């Protein structure tokens, strides 16, 4: 790999401009942005017109450019750009989680075949160096779980609605005004964004390739005042928490709102901040917190990847290449709070053990064991019926489900 980096940049929006600023204000590292590709010819630019191009091949076919930094907001076009660049033997840095998660296995094979480096630290939890931490520090230790708050927009909305008691709509508008939320916030609030990040983390933490359609994501769109009241009466905060868990070479993963107690470090992760908890077999629990979005924090993560290229850094994917392979298995049960406004059959959610149930006039809830695979199958039903589902406690495997349920029943009878 050439140590002199000639960069072709795609995108000069929030992150592209953030990177440009961070790059020009960083000491000890120089690199050269040769050309910047953008889309809208009528947009005023903060740099001279010479540096911009509207033709991607001006960058992709330029033999002087050996590094592509991809920071556009269109995942399909980004995939075409990244694929073409890798096939041309160029190293790539990207911040696009949807692109990476959707094509993870193909991109892994491509970078291997063409012997180039593909780095994507900024795609996952903004400024938190989670990919490099998993790759470099936890490369050999077996991990039991990685979970956290991976999305700044939803965390901002939940902080404002729960702690500051402002409405969901106003909180969302504020997040958009502050540049955390996109004009179409669906990917954030329905948990897709968190799911893409969980898929990327699952590869580096557990060596598995998960497909987005096979991973459950339930977001915060159905959150109701009654859910907030239930949670706060019991001392919980509500956070959107992706969980990737490992037991006996099986990896389960899902994105769900979760009721969090004060003992959990995520309780204190507020506003646009992200937090990641890594649980190692021997090292125990580690907690990383940082800004999950914004031009400068994300630009700083992109700069770190560019800088890593200068010393020929590549991901080693050690967890993928370990002898004992992990497989994905979402046939697990979790304890969950389920709120429904019209009476439903809870068996649809695989809820065969109910610990607590309340039936009011237009507000009902149950606390039950539910099956992750079943929730995935019933995602449309859950959204159509406006159910709010939040995890309580930790996931349990199907085999130990019965004994835990019986234990819980004994406790509730004793009470």
What is the DSSP secondary structure assignment for residue 190, as one 8-state letter? Answer: T
Among 68, 92, 95, 255, binds ligand NAP (CB under 6 A): 95
Strands (E), 79-235: 91-94, 118-119, 143-149, 216-217
- Closer residue to ligand NAP in complex, CB, 3/183: 183
Residue whose tokens read 């073409």: 84
Q: How far is the CB of 13 from ligand NAP (least distance, A)?
A: 2
- Closer residue to ligand NAP in complex, CB, 14/101: 14
Q: Is 365 in the site for ligand NAP (CB under 6 A)?
A: no
Q: Are strands 6-10 and 32-37 parallel, antiparallel or unpaired?
A: parallel
The SS3 assignment for 277 reads strand
Q: How far is the CB of 199 from ligand NAP (least distance, A)?
A: 14
Does an H or E element contain 153, and which?
A: helix 152-158
- Closer residue to ligand NAP in complex, CB, 79/315: 79
**By rule CB under 6 A, what count of residues binds ligand NAP?**
24
- Name the segment binding ligand NAP (CB under 6 A); options: 1-9, 34-42, 345-353, 366-374: 34-42
Q: Is 13 in the site for ligand NAP (CB under 6 A)?
A: yes
Q: For the residues of 219-268, what is the DSSP string, one character each?
A: -STT--HHHHHHHHHTT-EEEEEEEEEEETTEEEEEEEEEEE-TTSGGGG
Q: How far is the CB of 137 from ligand NAP (least distance, A)?
A: 22
- Closer residue to ligand NAP in complex, CB, 11/207: 11
The number of angstroms, rounded, from the C-alpha of 206 to the middle of its chain's C-alpha atoms is 15
Q: Is 248 in the site for ligand NAP (CB under 6 A)?
A: no
Q: Is 293 in the site for ligand NAP (CB under 6 A)?
A: yes
**Nearest-5° Cα angle at 260, 256 to 261:** 165
Q: Rounded distance, CA 54 to CA 36, Å?
A: 9
* CB-CB contact of 210 with 102 (8 Å): no
Among 12, 150, 206, 273, binds ligand NAP (CB under 6 A): 12
Does the annotation mark 197 as catalytic? yes
Q: How far is CA 251 from CA 32, 142, 188, 245, 322, in A?
A: 42, 12, 24, 6, 15
For ligand NAP, the nearest residue by Cβ is 13
Q: Is 11 in the site for ligand NAP (CB under 6 A)?
A: yes
Q: How far is the CB of 119 from ligand NAP (least distance, A)?
A: 13
Considering the candidates 197, 245, 289, 335, report the single residue annotated as catalytic.
197
The dihedral region occupied by 410, where left means phi > 0, alpha psi between -120 and 50, and beta the remainder, is alpha
- Closer residue to ligand NAP in complex, CB, 43/211: 43
- Name the segment binding ligand NAP (CB under 6 A); options: 33-41, 102-110, 329-337, 362-370: 33-41
In the chain, the N- to C-terminal Cα span, in Å, equals 66
Radius of gyration (C-alpha) of the chain in whole angstroms? 22
- Closer residue to ligand NAP in complex, CB, 95/278: 95
Q: For the residues of 62-78, what is the DSSP string, one character each?
A: -TT--EEEE--S-HHHH
Residue whose tokens read 């610990």: 355
Q: How far is the CB of 122 from ligand NAP (least distance, A)?
A: 6
Q: Using CA of residue 62, residue 66, residue 70, residue 74, what is the dihedral sign?
A: positive
Q: Is 172 in the site for ligand NAP (CB under 6 A)?
A: no
The SS3 assignment for 55 reads coil
**Nearest-5° Cα angle at 201, 33 to 100:** 45
Q: How far is the CB of 180 from ligand NAP (least distance, A)?
A: 7
Q: How far is the CB of 77 from ligand NAP (least distance, A)?
A: 4
Among 4, 43, 234, 261, binds ligand NAP (CB under 6 A): 43
Q: Is 16 in the site for ligand NAP (CB under 6 A)?
A: yes
Residues 73-92 that bind ligand NAP (CB under 6 A): 73-74, 77
Among 33, 38, 231, 375, binds ligand NAP (CB under 6 A): 38
Q: Is 40 in the site for ligand NAP (CB under 6 A)?
A: yes
Q: Is 126 in the site for ligand NAP (CB under 6 A)?
A: yes
Interface ranges with ligand NAP (CB under 6 A): 10-16, 37-40, 43, 71-74, 77, 95-96, 122, 126, 293-294, 298
The residues annotated as belonging to the active site are 197
């Amino acid at each position: 790999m050439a140590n002199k980096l000639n960069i072709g940049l795609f995108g000069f929006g929030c992150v592209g401009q953030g990177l440009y600023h961070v790059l020009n204000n960083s000491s000890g590292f120089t690199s050269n942005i040769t050309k910047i590709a953008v889309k809208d010819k009528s947009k005023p630019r903060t740099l001279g017109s010479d540096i911009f191009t509207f033709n991607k091949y001006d960058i992709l076919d330029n033999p002087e450019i050996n590094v592509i930094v991809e920071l556009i907001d269109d995942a399909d076009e980004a995939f075409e750009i990244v694929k073409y660049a890798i096939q041309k033997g160029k190293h790539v840095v990207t911040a696009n989680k949807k692109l990476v998660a959707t094509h993870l296995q193909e991109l892994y094979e491509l970078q291997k075949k063409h012997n180039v480096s593909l780095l994507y630290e900024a795609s996952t939890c903004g400024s938190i160096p989670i990919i490099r931490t998993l790759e470099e520090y936890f490369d050999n230790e077996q991990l039991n779980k990685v979970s956290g708050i991976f999305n700044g927009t939803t965390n901002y909305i939940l902080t404002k609605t729960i702690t500051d008691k402002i409405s969901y709509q106003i909180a969302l508008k504020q997040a958009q005004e502050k540049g955390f939320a996109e004009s179409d916030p669906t990917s954030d609030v329905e948990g897709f964004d968190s799911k893409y990040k969980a898929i990327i983390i699952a590869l580096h933490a557990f060596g598995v390739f998960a497909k987005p359609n096979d991973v459950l994501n339930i977001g915060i769109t159905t959150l109701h005042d009654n859910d907030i009241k239930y949670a706060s009466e019991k001392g919980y905060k509500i956070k959107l928490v992706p969980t990737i868990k490992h037991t006996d070479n099986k990896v389960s993963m899902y994105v769900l709102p979760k009721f969090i107690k004060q003992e959990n470090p995520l309780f204190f992760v507020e506003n646009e901040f992200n937090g990641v908890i890594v649980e190692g077999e021997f090292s125990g629990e580690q907690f990383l917190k940082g800004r999950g979005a914004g031009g400068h924090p994300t630009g700083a993560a992109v700069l770190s990847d560019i800088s890593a290229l200068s010393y020929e850094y590549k991901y080693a994917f050690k967890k993928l290449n370990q002898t004992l392979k992990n497989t994905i298995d979402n046939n697990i049960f979790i304890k969950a709070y389920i709120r429904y406004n019209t009476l439903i059959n809870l068996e649809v959610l695989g809820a065969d053990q109910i610990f607590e149930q309340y039936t009011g006039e237009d507000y009902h809830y149950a606390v039950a064991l539910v099956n992750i695979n079943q929730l995935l199958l019933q995602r449309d039903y859950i959204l159509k019926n406006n159910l709010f589902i939040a995890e309580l406690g930790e996931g349990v495997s199907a085999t130990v489900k019965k004994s835990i349920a019986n234990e819980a029943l004994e406790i509730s009878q004793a009470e």
